[in-house]
Chain A
């Protein structure tokens, strides 16, 4: 099994960049589906950090946390997309700003 000879912090740096990009997308996008996609990117980056840490200490725990994050992401995206469908049928748009009834 080939292993890259990279330092731990370079791989963590990749996770940080991906997480920040996902956060930026989540803040900027107004389309509900794109917001869910950005949440997936962020969860994936968190999983990458776990896998990197697990590889560093040669423990399986990192990959197990990745599997649990995967299950979480699957459940989250199922409920989130069902909510997006409801949203679309109610407001006929996916603009997250359309649901502003709570505005004071």
Chain B
């Protein structure tokens, strides 16, 4: 299971790199699906099967489909790819890349120098997650449902047709 974790995490990192560098939006979304699936494998190998299932169902299933719908509605893809490629010059990558590398180095330093983190991970069964979710965290579930309702109303309001034509 160790090898599973390492292979899946390498695949996740590589496909995420491909996601942020692709000029074609649909290609980026397809790489995002691979990245999310490999992250689901990481969750499974870390003993979180429920999170792994949710990652596949909600992220790779629902959220990416939303993106694909919007790309289809706006008819993006082939004709926008050259312009996108023009935006992604090496000069654009230089500054953000440098600062993000500094941030990553700092995070790595924190993980390896500051905290005692040598212990392994354990399985958290789905039953425990469900019991805790609808036990002490039931208020958070209600709040999440209200957030989703607000997101639904907001998306409906913003996506109205007469609103679009103005």
Q: What's the least CB distance linking A37 to chain B, in Å?
A: 6
Contact B16 A59 (CB under 8 A): no
Contact with B along A60-81 (1 / 0, CB 8 A): 1111101110111111111101
Contact A38 B20 (CB under 8 A): yes
- The SS class assigned to the A binding surface is helix
For residue A89, CB closer than 8 A to chain B, the reply is yes
Partner of A60, one of B45, B120, B124: B124
Partner of A84, one of B19, B70, B144: B70
Residue of B with least CB distance to A2: B1
Contact B45 A2 (CB under 8 A): yes
Residue of A with least CB distance to B121: A55
A18 with B108: in contact, given A58-B122, A94-B74 (CB under 8 Å)? no
Contact with A along B53-73 (1 / 0, CB 8 A): 011001100110011001101
Contact A55 B124 (CB under 8 A): yes
A20 with B104: in contact, given A79-B155, A81-B66 (CB under 8 Å)? yes
A residues adjacent to B (C-beta < 8 A): 1-14, 16-25, 27-31, 33-34, 36-38, 40-41, 44, 47-48, 51-52, 54-56, 58-64, 66-68, 70-79, 81-86, 88-89, 94-95
